[in-house]
Amino acid sequence: MRGKIRINFFLIILAASLFSVYLYAQEEKKLNPTLEKGIGQYKHENYDEALVTLKKAKAEELSSTLAAYYLGLTYKQLQQYKDAVPPLREAVTNLPKIKGALIELIDCLYQLGKLDEAKKWIGEAEREGIRPAQVAFLKGLVLVKDNNVPEAIDSFKNAKSLDQSMTQAANYQIGMADLKANKLEDARKVFKEVVLVDPSSNMANYANAYIGALESRAEAEKPFRFSAGVAWQYDDNVVLQPANTTLATGITDKADAREVYTAQAEYNKRFNDLLGIKGQYFFYYGKENNLGFYDMLSNTFAIQPSIYYKNSLLTFPLGWSLTNVNDKFYLSSPSAAAVYNVMINNTNMFQAFLRYQNYDYIWLPIIPQEDRSGNELGGGLGWYWFFAKNKGFVNLKYGANRDWTNGNNWNYVGNRITATVLIPLMNKLNWTVSGDFFPQNFTRSNSIFGVYRKDQVYTLSTLVAYKVYKDSEIQAQYTFVKDDSNVGVYSYNRNITSIGVEIKF
Band of the pLDDT at 252, cuts 50, 70, 90? low
H helix runs in 129-166, sequence order: 132-145, 149-162
Q: Would you say residue 248 has pLDDT above 70?
A: no
Encode pLDDT of 373-396 as tens digits: 999 999 999 999 999 888 899 999
The CATH fold of domain 222-504: Porin (2.40.160)
Q: Would you say residue 494 has pLDDT above 50?
A: yes
Q: Would you say residue 105 has pLDDT above 60?
A: yes
- Taking CA atoms, 178 is separated from 64, 206, 356, 443, in Å, by 43, 15, 44, 60
Higher pLDDT: 318 or 169? It is 318
Are the C-beta atoms of 484 and 492 separated by less than 8 Å?
no
Residue 391 is predicted with a pLDDT of 85
Encode pLDDT of 202-214 as tens digits: 888 878 877 777 7
Report which DSSP code applies to 293. Answer: G
Band of the pLDDT at 134, cuts 50, 70, 90? very high
Average pLDDT over residues 47-69: 91
Residue 390 is predicted with a pLDDT of 81
| Residue 492 host element (H or E) | strand 492-504
Q: Would you say residue 17 has pLDDT above 60?
A: no
CA atoms within a 13 Å half-sphere pointing along the CA-CB vector of 79: 0
Is-above-0.85 flag for pTM?
no
Q: Would you say residue 11 has pLDDT above 70?
A: no
**Strand 275-288 to strand 312-315: parallel, antiparallel, or no bridges (unpaired)?**
unpaired
Report which DSSP code applies to 170. Answer: H
Can you list the positions of beta strands (E) in 392-471? 392-405, 412-424, 429-445, 452-469
Nearest residue to 159 via CA among 139, 176, 180, 129: 139
Q: Would you say residue 4 has pLDDT above 70?
A: no
Encode pLDDT of 319-371 as tens digits: 999 999 988 999 999 999 999 999 999 899 999 999 999 999 999 999 999 99
Contacts of 463 (CB under 8 A, 6+ apart): 431, 432, 434, 475, 476, 477
Residue 398 is predicted with a pLDDT of 97
**Strand 492-504 to strand 256-270: parallel, antiparallel, or no bridges (unpaired)?**
unpaired
**Distance between CA 55 and CA 37 in Å, rounded?**
12
